[in-house]
Amino acid sequence: MSWIIAAVVPAFAGLALLGFLAFRVFLATRRLGREVERARLRLARARGTLAAPPPGRRARSGPGRG
């Protein structure tokens, strides 16, 4: 009977450890998702800024300018 207890206790401790580590991975994944979203928004803003012509200037077209 004691060998059953000796086997169940480490198994339960191992499962508890795996649960704790899975929870930490879950939290890290959420943080990473938020960080990726912030980076995506920053890139979208920068792309919009680069794509727009400066205020007060019009795009010129003519010979050699496409």
- Tell me the per-residue pLDDT of 13-22, one tens digit each, with 9 for 90 and over: 999 999 999 9
- Tell me the per-residue pLDDT of 21-65, one tens digit each, with 9 for 90 and over: 999 999 999 999 999 999 999 999 988 887 776 667 665 665 665
Paired tokens of 19: 């649960």
> What pLDDT score was predicted for residue 25?
98
Where residue 3 falls among pLDDT bands split at 50, 70, 90?
confident
**32/66 Cα distance (integer angstroms):** 43
Residue 62 phi, psi dihedral angles, 5° rounding? 175, -165
Contact 19, 12 (CB under 8 A): no
Contact 21, 15 (CB under 8 A): no
> What pLDDT score was predicted for residue 47?
87
Q: Which of 46, 27, 49, 48 is nearest to 38 (CA)?
A: 46
